[in-house]
Structure 1
Amino acid sequence: MTDAPFLIVGLGNPGPQYERTRHNAGYMALHELLGHDSLRPHKKSNTLIAETRLGGKKAILAQPRCFMNLSGTPVRALADFFKVPPAQVVVLFDDLELEFGQVKVSLSGGDHGHNGLRSITKSLGTKDYVRVGIGIGRPPGRMDVASFVLKPFSKAEMKELPIALADAADEVARFVTTS
C-alpha cells in the first residue's frame, strides 16, 4: 500500500425519506465508523467528508450526496483529489446476496447487480477496490428488488441492525489497520 489515505465510502440515497431504508445501510455503517466526528461538505466533489485516522493511518470517510447509481463520479473525484489508488478505496454497501446482518469484505469482484458498485467500477475504471457488503437479505416472495431495498428496515431488523453496522465498521478498521 502507498502512503495515500484510505477512502472509505458509505453508499446510500440522500434525503430523509431514505434514512432508514435498506439501501442506506452503507451510509449507516459509515456513521458507525465515524463515531463522534462530523461530516462536512467537500469543495471538489458532491460529498460530505471527514478526515480521520484508523489504526494510525489517514482515512477519508465520505458520503456522496447524490443518488446511489451516480456515486461513481464523486468517488472518482475524491480519489483523484486525495491521490487514493483504487486498492485503498473501501465501499460500504447493502448486499442482497448476504443474509440480514452478515458482513463480508471482498478485495475486488463484480457488482452483483448493485447500481452503486456498477457506477464506482465504471468511474474508477477497475473492479479492484474493496467492498464491504452489509447483508440485507432477499426480498420476500415475489417482491420487486427495488421496492425491497427502498423500504425501511422492519422493527425486528432495527433491533439487530446496530450489531451488523458495528461489525461492518470493525471490518473496515481491521482492513485499514492491517493493510
Structure 2
Amino acid sequence: MKKFLIVGLGNIGSEYQNTRHNIGFRVLDRLAEEESVNFETVKLGDKCICSVKGRKLILLKPSTYMNLSGKSVKYWMDKEKIPLENVLIITDDINLPFGTIRLKTRGSDGGHNGLKDIQARLNTVQYNRVRLGIGSEFSRGKQIDYVLGEWDEEENKALPERLEKACELIRSFATAGVQHTMNAFNGK
C-alpha cells in the first residue's frame, strides 16, 4: 500500500487552538473526523492513520511548536520510510487572501518559520506544500498578533467550506497525484 505523510502545521496548547496559525491542525482534525479516525499522542506529535482508495495516509500534527516542525517531519518520514514526493505540508500563508488554496511542489519559506525549519531539516526547497491564505489584515509590526489571533466572525463562517476543500485536495493528492491536484484546486 502506498504511504503518504500529511503534516498539518500549528502550535500545541488550547491557547492556540482557534488561531489562524493553526489552520494546518484544523484541516487534519476535519479530515480525521470525516474518516472516523482519532489522533493519538506519539513521539514528536499527534498521529492517526486513514485509508483513502488503497492509499495509507499518516496524518501528523507536530508537537514541536511551529518553529521546530522540521524535526517531527523528518523523524516520521524516516520512521515510516516515506519518500519526499509523498509528503504534504499544510500551512497558513499571510501572503494569500483569506480562503485561497495553493498547492506547490517547491518554493521559498516565504518568511514562515515552520517552513523554514522543514526546509533546513530536509535540506531542500522541493517538497509539496498546501498554503492556505489567512489574509494580511494587520498593521505594521502586528503580524505575530494577527497570525496568533483568533478568526473573526466572517472568517469563522467561511472556514468550514475551506476546510472541506482542503480535505478534498489531500485525498486528490494521494490518489490522483500532485500535478492533477494542482490543476484542479489551485485558486479554487
Q: Which range, TM-score by smaller chain?
A: over 0.9
Give the residue type in structure 2 aligned to 1:108. Answer: R
- Matching residue of 1:79: 77
Task: State the shift of 1:4 in Å.
Answer: 4.8
Which stretches of structure 1, 4 residues or longer, exceed 6 Å deviation after superposition? Answer: none
Deviation at 1:171, TM superposition (A): 0.9
CA RMSD of aligned residues (A): 1.3
Alignment check: 8 A CA contact 1:22 1:152 kept: yes
Partner of 2:129: 131
Shift of 1:140: 2.8
Q: 2:45 aligned with 1:40, yes or no?
A: no
Structure 2 residue runs of 5 or longer lacking an equivalent are 178-188
Question: What secondary structure sits across from 1:5 in the alignment?
Answer: strand
**Could you tell me which of 6, 12, 15 is aligned with 2:13?**
15
2:68 to 67, 70, 73: 70
Q: Does 1:90 align with 2:78?
A: no
Contact 1:94–1:136 (CA<8 Å) still a contact in 2?
yes
Cα deviation digits, residues 26-71 of structure 1 (max 9, x gap): 10011111122101122xx311111111232111100111210011
Q: Per the alignment, in what secondary structure is the counterpart of residue 117 of structure 2?
A: helix
Residue ranges of structure 1 left out of the alignment (5+ in a row): none
Residue-by-residue CA offset, 1:79-118 (whole Å, 9 max, x unaligned): 0000111111101101111110111111111111110011
How far apart are residue 143 of structure 1 and its match? Answer: 5.0
Identity of aligned pairs, percent?
37
Larger displacement relative to structure 2 (61-70 or 48-57): 48-57
Give the conservation status (yes or no) of the 8 Å contact 2:2–2:55: no
Of the three residues 97, 103, 118, the one matched with 2:116 is 118
CA displacement at 1:126 relative to structure 2: 1.4
**Separation in 1 of the partners of 2:45 and 2:61?**
5
